[in-house]
Amino acid sequence: MTNLNKRILTSLIVFPISMFFIIKGGNYIVSFLYAVLILANFEAFSIFKRKTSIIFLDSVLVVSLLSILHLRNDTASSFILLLWVIILTISSDIGGYIFGKIFKWKRFTNISPNKTLSGVIGSFVFSILSLLLLALICKILFQIDLNFFFKIKYFIFAIILSLAAQVGDLMVSYFKRLDKIKDTGKILPGHGGIFDRIDGLILSIIVANILYYLKLFP
């Protein structure tokens, strides 16, 4: 089985399970977030050699997990925002991969050799398209009409959140590069470790929580 096939299969298993705990809320999401924290900490202390890397990544992780819990439990609007950030982060990652493979423009940074300018553009494009995907999901699953989403400010938010996701990706890649690490673990076949999978989400969810705190959403 190729690495791409492993990646797809793992995503098809992990994503529905993760969404189950998030949608259920209550003790389900608390238990889920505790599990993520424990596994990610095990990775950090096992893989990374520099104390500064461990402390920084762990601090960002804790803030991001608390942000997820806050957005899930505060209001219906914050819950929708949480769903959007998750969908947007995944869309941003897929867009970067597809555009990077198709157009193959020059490398964007030395931190991550696979990061290209075409991939950056693809991430922005797919992040904007995530607005349509979220509206469709909310209409089908929750009978919620999100027509208000199609305003210019949400397109701007999509760019901001995609940028945060890409910076998060580069941030984890930077710390891995410092310690000459390829993957942060092997728990997720095709993806690597927990930090390899949630590198984009840990920053985008914090930025989303700030937008919500500033009452810029909805």
3-state secondary structure of 193: coil
Backbone phi and psi for residue 189, each to the nearest 5 degrees, phi listed first: -55, 130
Long-range interactions of 40-44: CB distance < 8 A, separation 24+:
40/193, 40/194, 40/195, 40/198, 43/184, 43/185, 43/187, 43/193, 43/194, 43/195, 44/184, 44/195
- The β-bridge partners of 107 are 116
pLDDT for 11-48, tens place per residue?
778 888 998 999 999 999 999 999 999 999 988 888 88
| DSSP at 105 | -
pLDDT for 78-125, tens place per residue?
999 999 999 999 999 889 888 888 887 777 677 776 778 888 999 999
Structure tokens, 217:
């959403």
Going from N- to C-terminal start, the domains of the chain cover 3-213
Q: pTM of the prediction?
A: 0.91
Residue indicated by tokens 């050799």: 113
